[in-house]
């Protein structure tokens, strides 16, 4: 993997270099000390992955992420010394298309390989996504068409660009929304609680992390909150599960959508938003085949047109909508 580092702190750059050196396939092709320099270097020599700091002079990492994704899009991982203190800015960067976030590996403390493991794992995941085949088959669950009852569920999946897209969508859903909402966003469990709090400030409904064993409730928004998959069980409760282990991103949108198609006994709408790769496309198609209404975000409004594109390619979406039209469409369908 060709990697660009954007950081104005020499110690942080050295920590990243040492972590990357543990994997011989990774090559640092340039280092930028501010966002403006990073934008220029991406244009000159586009990397596979950019490791982006947020707090820099001249141009910060949020604006640099926005400009890079607009001009020379590539996979961007936010790397910060203290992500908890910069949580709002982390989600801003993810809203502009950053794929993931990780803390800077500790330098000279403990086992270097252990310290580097979270960063190297995320880069490995990105490498898999960049190299995957568009028509890679996904696991399909054979289920009977569910009987329709009154309770309604809005199931939403998102990845890169998702936080900002979810903020827009939730702002447009009314406080008296007639369904339960469950979100699966590709985000590490370390940041999930902060994301729920951040989204709650924008939503007309309360947003919190889903708890193992609870049922989705009308008027509330639940966010998948661990590195295990969230799925719906036959009794209508939510559960976190390690299996299937082969999914690169945890929690997997496909796993949740497939469980909704299999077990949800009310009305449901599936929505697949911006993101890299194709997670959620097969699950959305399964929801459509079981008679649920399905929506994919359109290309023009997607920060990263990967997952919705994959859904469109296999005819998984009943409708393809710009982001601003998704909430009004859902409300119209359940008016």
pLDDT (tens digit, 9 = 90+) per residue, 18-44? Answer: 999 999 999 999 999 999 999 999 999
Round to whole Å and give the CA distance between 305 and 273: 9
pLDDT score recorded for residue 3: 97
The pLDDT, as a whole number, for residue 316 is 97
Catalytic residue, candidates 96, 186, 229, 293: 186
Average pLDDT taken over every residue of the chain: 90
- For residue 99, the enclosing domain spans 2-131
pLDDT confidence of 110, banded at 50, 70, 90? confident
Asked if residue 213 and residue 311 are part of one domain, the reply reads yes
User: For residue 29, what is the domain's CATH number?
Assistant: 3.40.50.2300
Q: Is the pLDDT score of 136 beyond 50?
A: no
Q: Are 205 and 303 in a shared domain?
A: yes
Chain segment 190-219, per-residue pLDDT in tens: 889 999 999 999 999 999 999 999 999 999
Indicate the number of domains in the chain: 2
Query: What's the order of all strands across the beta sheet hosting 319-321?
Result: 207-209, 221-223, 180-185, 152-158, 267-272, 293-297, 319-321
Active site residue 83: no
Residue 136 lies in a domain: no
- Helix (H) / strand (E) containing 42: helix 35-44
Domain shared by 79 and 212, yes or no: no
Q: Looking at residue 84, what is its pLDDT?
A: 66
Residue 270: is its pLDDT beyond 70?
Answer: yes
CB contact at 8 A, 50 and 6: yes
Quick one: 104 and 171 in the same domain? Answer: no
CB 268 within 8 A of CB 156: no
Catalytic residue among 159, 252, 259, 302: 159
Q: Look up the pTM and report it.
A: 0.84
Between CA 147 and CA 2 the distance in angstroms is 50
Residue 83 pLDDT > 70 = no
Residue 6 predicted with pLDDT over 80? yes
Question: Among residues 100, 93, 87, which one has the least CA distance to residue 69?
Answer: 93
pLDDT value at 237 more than 90: yes
Question: 300 and 183, same structural domain?
Answer: yes
In a domain, 142, yes or no: no
Mean pLDDT to the nearest integer, 283-305 = 96
Q: Is residue 144 part of a domain?
A: no
Residue 267 has, within 13 A of its CA and on its CB side, a CA count of 11
Here the CATH number for the domain that contains residue 320 is 3.40.50.180
Give the number of other Cβ atoms within 10 Å of residue 174's Cβ: 11
Do both 122 and 217 map to the same domain?
Answer: no
User: Catalytic site residue 279?
Assistant: yes
User: CA 168, 241, 247, 48 torsion: positive or negative?
Assistant: positive
Tell whether 137 is covered by a domain: no
What is the per-residue pLDDT for 143?
45
Residues 330 and 318 sit within 8 Å (Cβ to Cβ): no
pLDDT given at position 188:
86
Catalytic choice (279, 293, 298, 301): 279
* pLDDT grade for 129, boundaries at 50, 70 and 90: confident
- Residue bearing the bigger pLDDT, 46 or 139: 46
Looking at the DSSP assignment, which residues form a beta bridge with residue 50? 4, 76
On the question of pLDDT at 145 being above 80, the answer is: no
Residue 145 lies inside a defined structural domain of this protein = no
């Amino acid at each position: 993997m060709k990697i660009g580092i954007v950081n104005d702190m020499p110690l942080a750059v050295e920590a990243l270099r040492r972590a990357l050196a543990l994997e011989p396939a990774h090559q640092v092709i340039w280092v930028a000390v501010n966002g403006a320099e990073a934008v220029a270097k991406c244009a000159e020599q586009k990397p596979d992955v950019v490791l982006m700091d947020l707090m820099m002079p001249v141009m910060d990492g949020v604006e640099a992420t926005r400009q890079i994704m607009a001009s020379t899009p590539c996979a961007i991982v936010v790397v910060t010394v203290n992500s908890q203190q910069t949580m709002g800015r982390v989600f801003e960067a993810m809203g502009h298309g950053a794929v993931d976030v990780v803390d800077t590996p500790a330098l000279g403390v403990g086992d270097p390989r252990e310290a580097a493991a979270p960063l190297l794992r995320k880069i490995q995941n990105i490498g898999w996504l960049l190299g995957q085949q568009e028509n890679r088959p996904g696991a399909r669950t054979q289920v009977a068409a569910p009987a329709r009852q009154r309770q309604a569920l809005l199931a939403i999946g998102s990845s890169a660009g998702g936080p900002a897209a979810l903020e827009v969508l939730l702002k447009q859903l009314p406080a008296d929304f007639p369904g339960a909402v469950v979100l699966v966003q590709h985000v590490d469990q370390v940041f999930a609680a902060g994301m729920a709090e951040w989204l709650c400030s924008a939503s007309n409904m309360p947003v919190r992390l889903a708890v193992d064993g609870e049922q989705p409730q009308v008027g509330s928004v639940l966010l998948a909150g661990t590195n295990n998959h969230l799925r719906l069980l036959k009794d209508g409760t939510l559960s976190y599960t390690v299996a299937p282990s082969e999914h690169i991103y945890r929690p997997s949108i496909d796993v949740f959508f497939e469980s909704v198609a299999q077990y949800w006994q009310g009305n449901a709408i599936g929505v697949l938003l911006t993101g890299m790769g194709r997670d959620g496309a097969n699950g959305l198609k399964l929801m459509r085949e079981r008679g649920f209404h399905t929506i994919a975000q359109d290309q023009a409004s997607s920060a990263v047109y990967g997952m919705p594109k994959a859904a469109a390619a296999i005819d998984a979406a009943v409708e393809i909508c710009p982001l601003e039209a998704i909430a009004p469409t859902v409300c119209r369908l359940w008016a």
